[in-house]
Structure 1
Amino acid sequence: MDWLRKLFSSPVPLNDSYHLSPSYKVFTSAFDQEILAKDLERSRKYAGEPTASADRTWRELQQFWATDLALLQAETTRLAGRLQPSLNLPKSSTLTLLIDHSGSMRGDKIQLAAFVAEVTVQLAIKLNLPFEVLGFTTVEWKGAPVRDLWSAQRALSNPGRLCALNHVVYSDFTDGDHPNSLRAMFLADLLKENVDGEAILWAVQRAKAWSAGPHMVLIISDGAPVDDATLFHNDPSYLWSHLHEVIDEFGIDPDVLLAGLGINYDVSSLYDTSDTITVFEDIHAKVLPLLENCLRKM
Structure 2
Amino acid sequence: MKHPLVDLRTDPVYKIYTTANDVDTTSKSLWAEMTPQQNVALNRQWHAYEDVVCEMRMMASWGWKATADSVLANSAFDPSRTAVSIVIAQSGPLCSQKATVTYFLVELISIFLDLIGVQYDILGFTTVDRNGGKSRQQWVNAGCPENPGRLSDIKRIVFQEASSDKSGTSFDSQVILRGETFNDSIDGEALFWAAERLKDLSADTNLVLMISDGEPTDTTSLQENHPDFLLSHLKAVIRDLQTTPGFFVAGIGIDRDVSDLYETNLKICELDQIPEDTLPFLTGLFS
TM class, shorter-length: over 0.9
The one-letter amino acid paired with 1:239 is L
Query: Is residue 48 of structure 1 aligned with residue 36 of structure 2?
Result: yes
Shift of 1:281: 1.7
CA distance, structure 1, for counterparts of residue 177 and residue 274 of structure 2: 20
Paired residue total: 280
Shift of 1:115: 0.5
Shift of 1:189: 2.0
CA distance, structure 2, for counterparts of residue 240 and residue 174 of structure 1: 32
CA distance, structure 1, for counterparts of residue 250 and residue 279 of structure 2: 13
CA distance, structure 2, for counterparts of residue 268 and residue 17 of structure 1: 25
Q: Determine if contact 2:8/2:237 at 8 Å carries over to the other structure.
A: no
Q: Determine if contact 1:99/1:134 at 8 Å carries over to the other structure.
A: yes
1:266 is matched with which residue? 257
Q: Determine if contact 1:96/1:134 at 8 Å carries over to the other structure.
A: yes
Query: Is residue 108 of structure 1 aligned with residue 126 of structure 2?
Result: no
2:46 is matched with which residue? 58
Q: Determine if contact 1:20/1:246 at 8 Å carries over to the other structure.
A: no
Superposition CA RMSD, Å: 1.6
Query: Is residue 294 of structure 1 aligned with residue 285 of structure 2?
Result: yes
Q: Which moved more, 1:111-120 or 1:79-88?
A: 79-88
Q: Which has the higher contact order (CA 8 A, sep 6+)?
A: 2
The one-letter amino acid paired with 1:291 is L
**Gapped regions of structure 2 (runs ≥ 5):** 1-5
The one-letter amino acid paired with 2:146 is S
How is 1:9-20 mapped onto 2 (pairs within 5 angstroms)?
17=7, 19=9
Shift of 1:188: 4.3
Say which SS state the counterpart of residue 142 (structure 1) adopts: coil
Change (3 A) 1:202 1:189: same
Say which SS state the counterpart of residue 258 (structure 1) adopts: strand
Change (3 A) 1:190 1:87: farther
Shift of 1:218: 1.1
2:275 corresponds to which of 261, 274, 284: 284
How is 1:1-298 mapped onto 2 (pairs within 5 angstroms)?
17=7, 19=9, 21-43=11-33, 46-90=34-78, 91-177=80-166, 178=168, 179-296=170-287
Q: Which moved more, 1:78-87 or 1:250-259?
A: 78-87
- TM-score, normalisation: structure 1: 0.90
Q: Determine if contact 1:21/1:245 at 8 Å carries over to the other structure.
A: no
Q: Determine if contact 2:131/2:152 at 8 Å carries over to the other structure.
A: yes
Misfit runs of 4+, over 6 Å: none
